[in-house]
Every structure is written in structure tokens, then in C-alpha cells.
Amino acid sequence: MAFRKRQQPAEPGRTGFGVGVQVVVRLDRSSHPEATDEDPSGVIVAAGEMEGAALYAPISGREAVWVVQFDEPFFGLDGSGPHESARVAQSSLAAAPEE
């Protein structure tokens, strides 16, 4: 009898990211190169699943996804929104600069 390994949420200790971390979401501007909007900032409020869809792009492979609550409502480069929060792939996150 084979057991399937249960999908685990992202783990803060392994990634450098975790609940409560201030982040900047680096937007994928490949479809909107003319966009001059600033990348939104916010705080991680929960760990997402390791696969599935995230903000603007499906996740390929096993990439951590975090739920980010934005500091201000965010309008996507495609005109969608306003978004209060979003599931964001870890590769699209950067630690926010300390003020």
C-alpha cells in the first residue's frame, strides 16, 4: 500500500520568509513593459500551498506561495482590482527595505 505525502505549506524557517515579514511584490512586467506603477508592499499573513496559481502566474514545480496583505489596495498591471491581498509565489517576493 502506497501513501501519498501530504502537501505541506511553506515553512518560514527554511525560506527566510514567514508570517509577519514585510515584503515587496516584484511584478512581472513582461506583458506590461510600459507600466510605471510601483511594486506593491505588504505583510505575509499566511503560508499558501506549494503548488497552484498565484498572482498573475501559475506556479511551476514546487514553489512556496505566501498570502500577502497589501499595505494599500493594489490594482494589477492588467487593470484588475483593487486587491486587498493575494497569493504570491516566493520568487516574486523580496524583503521590504527597513525604514
The string of pLDDT tens digits covering residues 67-90 is: 999 999 988 888 889 999 998 989
When pLDDT is cut at 50, 70 and 90, the band that residue 3 belongs to is very low
3 assigned to some structural domain: no
Grid cell in block for residue 70: 497589501
Structural domains of the chain, count: 1
Look at residue 35 and give its three-state secondary structure. coil
In angstroms, what CA-CA distances link 35 with 21, 23, 79?
27, 20, 11
Task: Look at the block and give the residue holding cell 524557517.
Answer: 13
Give the per-residue pLDDT at 83: 92
Residue 9 in any domain: the answer is no
State the pTM of this model.
0.71
Q: Which backbone phi and psi does 17 adopt, to 5 degrees?
A: -110, 155
**Within a domain: residue 4?**
no
Q: Which residue has the higher pLDDT, 75 or 54?
A: 75
d(CA 75, CA 87): 15
The closest of 61, 53, 56 to 74, measured between CA atoms, is 56
Asked if residue 54 is part of any domain, the answer here is yes
**CATH code of the domain containing 47:** 2.30.30
Domain residues for the domain of 74 are 15-28+37-95
